[in-house]
Amino acid sequence: MADCPWIIQVAEATFDREVLQRSQQTPVLVDFWAPWCGPCRTLGPILEKLAREMEGRFVLAKINSDENPRLGQRYNVRGIPTCKLFSKGTILDEFTGAKPESAVRQFLDQAIPSDADRAAVEAEFYVRRGDLDRAIEIYQQVLAEYPNHDVSLLGLASLLVELGRGQEAQPLLDRLGTKAAESQEAKLLRAKLAFSGSEGDVAALQAQLQQQPHDLTLRLQLGAALVGCDRLVEGMEQFLEVIRCDRSFQDGAARKSLLQVFDMLGPTHPLVMQYRSKLSSIWFS
């Protein structure tokens, strides 16, 4: 451990300096362990690996409980291994027992934001203030250093869609990790992109459809145009009508469009529940 500045051995005599004072600048994860403890031997290498990997996001302070029993009593350690995360001199979070690497990583990511996470929070602050140019600049700076930072990818894509720059947003959504790509926010953005630029001349499309009521391509175009200008119910009704006529038309384009509207509104929206029922009644009739 001597080769890693982020892993230290701590005893009662050095605890205040190495943990409480050090945590004023950098979070310190205290690992209460003992040589005879099997779960400690499982957890210890995981903690050390993550300390090296995260390169200073936190300091790992290892405390041999057998040699420092009063520290365990002082911090109410009832079993080992126990890990307590100190920040600004106080316990920020903790867990007891051996955990797999994925769970420890999640614990640390939630409790200790990375530089990229902190920058994304700053960008969101500027969004709330209405300074979108500054927010975009910050997101771009983050992504220049961390190209796959999902929070920044979503944040920047959302701003670009809002500003009508959907062509720039799509490549950002394509870079999302699996979990982020399946998030409600990503689904919403993809749905907005699908209908952006579809605000065609609704009146003209309606007039054409009156002349050609069996033209399903026109009906799909009208549905997209209606959704694009926030006339959601009328647009969804057009999609349903296409499905009634030919559910496989253009490889099921009407059903796909309807599902994109559902994604845009979110699963609990009253219109989604209403039109899911309508879709099911047609689809399974």
DSSP letter string over 36-80?
T-HHHHHHHHHHHHHHHHHTTSSEEEEEETTT-HHHHHHTT--SS
Of 37, 83, 229, 245, catalytic: 37
Q: Are residues 119 and 186 in the same domain?
A: yes
Closest by CA to 274, choosing from 221, 232, 224, 223, is 232
Q: Are residues 165 and 219 in the same domain?
A: no
Q: Which residue has the tokens 């609990």?
A: 268
Q: Are residues 226 and 157 in the same domain?
A: no
pLDDT of residue 198: 60
Locate 67 and state its tokens.
């040699």
Is 245 a catalytic site residue? no
pLDDT of residue 234: 94
**Helix or strand holding residue 91 (H, E):** strand 90-96
Q: Are residues 95 and 28 in the same domain?
A: yes
CATH number of the domain bearing residue 79: 3.40.30.10
Q: Are residues 27 and 95 in the same domain?
A: yes
Angle at CA of residue 261, ends 260 and 263, nearest 5°: 65
Q: Are residues 19 and 106 in the same domain?
A: yes
Q: Are residues 233 and 189 in the same domain?
A: no
The count of residues in the chain is 285
pLDDT of residue 101: 95
Q: Are residues 70 and 84 in the same domain?
A: yes
2 lies in some domain: no
Total domains, the chain: 3
Which residues touch 157 (CB under 8 Å, ≥6 apart)?
169, 172, 173, 189
CB 193 within 8 A of CB 169: yes
Closest by CA to 6, choosing from 62, 44, 90, 46, is 62
Closest by CA to 47, choosing from 28, 69, 22, is 28
Q: Are residues 188 and 217 in the same domain?
A: no
134 lies in some domain: yes
DSSP letter string over 216-280?
HHHHHHHHHHHHHTT-HHHHHHHHHHHHHH-TTTTTTHHHHHHHHHHHHH-TT-HHHHHHHHHHH
138 lies in some domain: yes
The range of the structural domain enclosing residue 38 comes to 7-111
Angle at CA of residue 187, ends 109 and 111, nearest 5°: 10
Domain end among 180, 195, 210 = 195
Which residues touch 142 (CB under 8 Å, ≥6 apart)?
116, 119, 120, 123, 149, 152
Domain end among 58, 85, 111 = 111
Q: Are residues 74 and 44 in the same domain?
A: yes
243 lies in some domain: yes
Domain end among 178, 195, 212 = 195
Q: Are residues 121 and 170 in the same domain?
A: yes
Q: Are residues 72 and 135 in the same domain?
A: no
81 lies in some domain: yes
Is 83 a catalytic site residue? no
277 lies in some domain: yes
CATH number of the domain bearing residue 160: 1.25.40.10
Q: Cα Rg for the chain, rounded, in angstroms?
A: 27
1 lies in some domain: no
Give the pLDDT of the chain (285 residues) as one tens digit per residue.
Answer: 447 889 999 999 999 999 999 999 999 999 999 999 999 999 999 999 999 998 888 999 999 999 999 999 999 999 999 999 999 999 999 999 999 999 999 999 888 888 898 899 899 999 999 999 999 999 999 999 999 999 999 999 999 988 888 889 999 999 999 989 988 889 888 888 878 766 558 889 999 999 999 999 999 999 988 888 878 999 999 999 999 999 999 999 999 999 989 988 888 899 999 999 999 999 887
Rounded to whole angstroms, the Cα distance separating 193 from 170 reads 8
Rounded to whole angstroms, the Cα distance separating 20 from 46 reads 23
Of 4, 40, 83, 245, catalytic: 40
